[in-house]
Amino acid sequence: MTRTQTLSLLIVPVVVLFATSLRAESLADYLKPRDAHVRTTNARLAELIHDGVRLSSTFQTLVERLSHSDVIVYVDPDAYGPEGLDGRLTFVGAGPGARYVRVRVAHYPDAARQIAIIGHELRHAVEIADAPAVVDEASLGREFARIGFSNSGLLPGVQSFETPAALKAGNRIYREITTAGIR
């Protein structure tokens, strides 16, 4: 290895480290994928989650609350979701020290609307984080029946619930995002 190559190998990591530290604006910039409690493998959803944390104090509060909980949220696109259903959360499972949920969201070109939908579902995840007794689908149904109301008419044959807190969070996030100029 030549002296120039060695110098290049030393300079590149320093420049990358320096550039990364300069652009860190919010919690979203500090989340490490394997440590984050809100995860996705979809590049567009990752960008929307990042924007949600950066532009909405409500969204950021939800992500922070989840980061201090035992709930891990996987956010996925829902290309084949039922008509009229923007987002949905399902309980995946529980293990020692962790409970796992999956959030699926419909695709909308309107970024603000999609961020609000993700935030609405993250509020449901916080409701689970606040209820340690939720360890499976049955206990999730009991908890959401207690704190919310049945929404099963949307999907016949499927137990479905909604909560006032999640509706309020989604609306607040949408206002915060659109006020910030995201559409």
CB 92 within 8 A of CB 102: yes
For residue 153, which phi and psi values (nearest 5 degrees)? -65, -25
Which residues, 6+ apart, have CB-to-CB distance to 113 below 8 Å?
Answer: 174
| Residue 150 confidence (pLDDT) | 85
Q: Is the dihedral of CA 181, 46, 139, 160 positive or negative?
A: positive
Cβ atoms < 10 Å from Cβ of 148? 18
Average pLDDT over residues 123-137: 97
Which residues, 6+ apart, have CB-to-CB distance to 180 below 8 Å?
Answer: 55, 56
| Residue 120 confidence (pLDDT) | 97
Query: For residue 49, which of 127, 108, 116, 109 has the smallest C-alpha distance?
Result: 116
| Residue 155 confidence (pLDDT) | 61
Confidence band, pLDDT 50/70/90 cuts, at residue 9 = very low
Please count the helices (runs of H) and the strands (runs of E) in the chain: 7, 6
Q: Is the dihedral of CA 125, 50, 59, 162 positive or negative?
A: negative
Average pLDDT over residues 151-174: 85
Average pLDDT over residues 92-118: 95
CB 141 within 8 A of CB 159: yes
Q: Check pLDDT > 80 for residue 30.
A: no
pLDDT in tens, 40-71: 999 999 999 999 999 999 999 999 999 999 99
Average pLDDT over residues 78-101: 89
Question: How large a percentage of the chain has pLDDT more than 70?
Answer: 77
3 state DSSP class of 131 = coil
Say if residue 164 is exposed, middle or buried (CB neighbours under 10 Å; 0-12, 13-18, 19+): exposed
Confidence band, pLDDT 50/70/90 cuts, at residue 6 = very low
pLDDT averaged over the chain? 83
Q: Quote the CA–CA distance of 61 and 106 in Å, as a whole number.
A: 23
